[in-house]
Amino acid sequence: MPELPEVEVTRERIGPVLVGRRIAGVRTTEPSHFFLTPPDSLLPRLSGRHATSLERVGKYLVAMLDDGQRLVLHLGMTGQLFAEGAASVRLLSAAARASLAPDEQPRFEPDVHTHLRIDFDDAGPGVLFRDVRKFGKVLLLGPGERSERLDRLGTDALRIDGERLFEATRGRSVAIKSLLLDQSVIAGTGNIYADEALHLAGVRPRRAARSLARRECARVADALRNVLLRSIETGGSSISDYVGPDGRDGGYQDERHVYAREGESCRRCGATIRRVVIGQRSAHYCPRCQR
């Protein structure tokens, strides 16, 4: 599932393909829960417009348009936003993958999972939004229109500091892991980076948020920022379907200390990594390094 780093990497790579280019047309799949704005109103509202910037708000991408509209995209669980012509085996079906020669460079052709396609009035590549499981979202906001989805987001995970986290944890009996995942408290964090940050900070995921001392909150906030920045640097995590907008895989999955490493040895102390379920999400931790 794309988290803050994957969305940020997508923003950095897709921004230059999107910003400043005049939109000539939009192609979509049939109306569905994927489109919070009906697909047949996207074409007239987007045609002739261009994006002036592409921002990230938590796990949302927000393209500011020249007429004040905002195109909001969420990658959901398996969303992939990339430029036309991107090459990656991750974009292909299992059958197509199996038929590839080892040295073949696969090129992606838009398929039934390609729900949104933005074409431009120049000769450059279009922008494709593909989502196999279809938990992604497309929303077009009019000038000045507010969105409850964006308004309810808490502090961006890259801007959280120890003091802010300490305040947010006071009086909260919820597990610290769950609090880190609460987008209304900290926007952008997901399962992978919450587990990794708690490991680096030496805090067990099941601890009640309010039991964390000020210095522990400082360690968690620092660790969270560091794992997110490091992941952005390595191109994000390609654990399941995430693929960079140019088809490249991320590299962070190779640096994980605990996430999805149940039964393996802790890289710091050698103890066996455990997995527990907290609030219906799995959490991974080292019983020796984390207290």
Which residues are tagged catalytic? Answer: 2-3, 59, 281
The residue within the footprint of Zn ion, chosen from 109, 269, 279, 291 (CB under 5 A), is 269
User: Is residue 208 at the binding interface for Zn ion, with CB under 5 A as the rule?
Assistant: no
Contact between 4 and Zn ion by CB under 5 A: the answer reads no
Supply the minimum distance, in Å, between the C-beta of residue 119 and Zn ion.
51
Q: Is 286 in the site for Zn ion (CB under 5 A)?
A: yes
Give the list of residues 6+ apart from residue 247 with CB closer than 8 angstroms, or none.
Answer: 82, 86, 87, 88, 90, 91, 108
31, two tokens: 């109306």
80 with 242: CB under 8 angstroms?
A: yes
Task: Assess 289 for contact with Zn ion (CB under 5 A).
Answer: yes
Q: Which of 266, 283, 284, 285 binds Zn ion (CB under 5 A)?
A: 266
Nearer to Zn ion, 92 or 289 (CB): 289
Residue 265 CB, nearest distance to Zn ion (Å)? 8
Closest CB to Zn ion among 107 and 288?
288
Nearer to Zn ion, 4 or 289 (CB): 289
For residue 284, the minimal CB distance to Zn ion (Å) is 11
CA distances from 225 to 46, 47, 193, 197 (A): 35, 38, 9, 8
The two tokens of residue 162 are 């120890």
Residue nearest to Zn ion (CB): 266
Interface residue with Zn ion among 268, 272, 279, 291 (CB under 5 A) is 268
Tell me the sheet residues that pair with 123: none
- Considering CB under 5 A, how many residues would be counted as binding Zn ion? 7
Binding to Zn ion (CB under 5 A): which residues in 54-93? none
Residue number with CB closer to Zn ion (119 or 195): 195
Q: Which stretch binds Zn ion (CB under 5 A): 38-46, 87-95, 148-156, 271-279?
A: 271-279
- Give how far Cα 260 sits from Cα of 193, 285, 289, Å: 11, 10, 17
Torsion of the alpha carbons at 213, 218, 221 and 222, rounded to the nearest 10: -140
Q: Min. distance of Cβ 269 from Zn ion in angstroms?
A: 3
**Residue 162 CB partners (closer than 8 Å, separation 6+):** 214, 215, 217, 218, 219, 220, 221, 222
Whole-angstrom Cα distance, residue 253 to residue 234? 9
List of residues contacting Zn ion (CB under 5 A): 266, 268-269, 271, 286, 288-289
